[in-house]
Structure 1
Amino acid sequence: MSLLQLRDDTAMPLYQQLEEQLYGLISSGVLPPGTILPAERQLAENLKVSRVTIQRAYAALRQRDLLASQGRRGFLVRTRPSQVHPGMDRLKGFTEEMRELGKIPSSRIVERQVVQDRSISSIFGLPSTAPFLKLTRVRYGDDVAMSREVAWYNLKAVPALEDGDLSGSVYAFLAENGGTRLVACEQTIEATMPTLEECRIFGFDEPLPCLLIKRHSFTQDAAMIEYVEGLFRGDMYSYRLKLQA
């Protein structure tokens, strides 16, 4: 803590000075993961500032997923997950994307059922009585939860999905069972905040910004097979786009 030097001859508030100095020490490795920072009251006394100043600085660092509360012991410097930088140059599933990034993909099925859903039917342009396979999965890369996705599949087009083994890549299953190949998609990306359940899945102490990706996937003859809403952790994903004039 002797490395912290707060100044009163600058317009930058004390809490922001503290936040930026601690951020620099953590990013540079001077305060490595596993380091316990003092509790709020103790640090406030050491630096001769108000406890509110320490609370605001620590809260900002927790929002950046750099600190985790250890109760009366203080705050733990967290191990930051390494970011992945997938490209968006072509249609590919999660399994293929993880393998391209050098990670081992896996999934945990949370929910699997055949449903009728009027709103989903309208997305597919099908009658309200059309059956869909609803598949909710947590997707992992090297055993780290990367995303939570809810997908609906057109069972009229691919009935084999209802009872098929979907523990791996659904795209691979489609290709191997009936030769259904998805060749095009329409995709949107939105910023959103995770629910408490999604925070638990991702190991967040408090909600952090995430990316919500919505995808409509089609076959060569323009038949829509899949609609998926995937929530991807914002602290790990940085997408790359290559654009040409």
Structure 2
Amino acid sequence: MYRQLEHQLRAMIVEGALGAGAALPPERKLALHLGISRKTVQQCYDALRRQRLISAHGRHGYIVEDGFRRIKPGMERLKGFTEEMQELGRVPSSRILERVVGEDRSIASIFGLTSTAQFLRLVRVRLGDDMPLSVEKAWYDLGVLPSLADGDLSGSIYARLAESGAPLVDCEQTIEAAWPDPRECAIFGFAEPLPCLLIKRRSYGADARMIEYVEGLFRGDAYAYRLRLRS
């Protein structure tokens, strides 16, 4: 029951029906109005709070957070997460979960390289205004830029590639629906798995050499991609 209520309130917040600063009904009042237990409402509010959609304000109850806005990025050109967040007026940041250098036969086949090719495997949580928006698993061909293996990767890797003379100029991208696993749910603050967008990208340099392969899981309640088509 609390999950049904949570889904309804989340949709109202995401779509703007409940704007930033709006006060939610007190637990007891909402429980009586809906004919459900107060504990059910408490569980719902707790789940929304963990997702940073609402915050507790003592006797003032729960308030819709300022800052949760559905992200509507364009897809008309190649850009990285950092640049995208900056264009949308958000502060980008990353948290590195895994960083490994080595061989990977399956990834090498994607790049069209031999099984002994060296890759940097990087798993990061990408945040906008401190809100976890995606979990990104990326592989980089160290034959193009060996310094990625031990350099500072807290910022934009796309910018670093460009500064090193190996900018990404082209990519192939697919988008499909996916479910987050338990670790990803914990990162996003989901009380239960919610639909997400799995974006797979193969990015190439000016010489058509593949430099990057990424699988990014983006929270579905925060993203609505925009694409303009012309005849």
- TM-score normalised according to structure 1 size: 0.73
2:181 is aligned with 1:191:
no
Q: Which has the larger radius of gyration?
A: 1
Of 134, 158, 175, 2:162 maps to 175
Give the one of 3, 10, 17 matched to 1:27. Answer: 17
Which residue in the other structure is 2:95 paired with? 108
Mapping of residues 1-245 of structure 1, within 5 Å:
27=17, 32-38=22-28, 43=32, 79=65, 81-177=68-164, 179-245=165-231
Q: Secondary structure at the match of 1:232?
A: strand
Contact 1:35 1:77 in 2 (8 A): no
Counterparts in 2 of 1:197 and 1:23: CA distance versus 1, 3 Å? closer
RMSD: 3.5
Q: Which amino acid aligns with 2:199?
A: I
Partner of 2:58: none
Q: Which structure 2 residue ranges, 5 or more long, are not aligned?
A: 55-61
- Contact 2:18/2:64 (8 A) holds in 1: no
Q: In structure 1, the residue corresponding to 2:192 is in which secondary structure?
A: coil
C-alpha deviation, 1:209, in angstroms: 0.8
What letter corresponds to residue 179 of structure 2 in structure 1?
Answer: M
Deviations 1:171-221 (A, max 9, x none): 1111122x1010000000011111111111111111111100000000111
TM-score w.r.t. structure 2 length? 0.78
CA distance in structure 1 between the aligned counterparts of 2:107 and 2:179, rounded to whole angstroms: 23
Distance 1:22 1:95 in 2: 26
Distance 2:189 2:18 in 1: 24
Q: Percent identity?
A: 56
* Residue pair 2:71, 2:223 contacting (<8 A) in 1 also: yes
Q: 1:131 to 1:242 in 2, by over 3 A?
A: same
Secondary structure of 1:133's counterpart equals strand
Instruction: Summarize the Cα distance change of 1:33–1:203 in structure 2 as closer, same or farther, 3 Å threshold.
Output: farther
Q: How far did 1:164 drift?
A: 1.3
Q: 1:240: how far off? A: 0.5
Residue correspondences, number:
212
Q: Is the 8 A contact 1:34 1:79 kept in 2?
A: no
User: Do the aligned residues in 2 keep the contact of 1:37 with 1:77 (CA within 8 Å)?
Assistant: no
Q: Which runs of 5+ in 1 are unaligned?
A: 1-15, 69-75
Cα shift at 1:37: 3.6
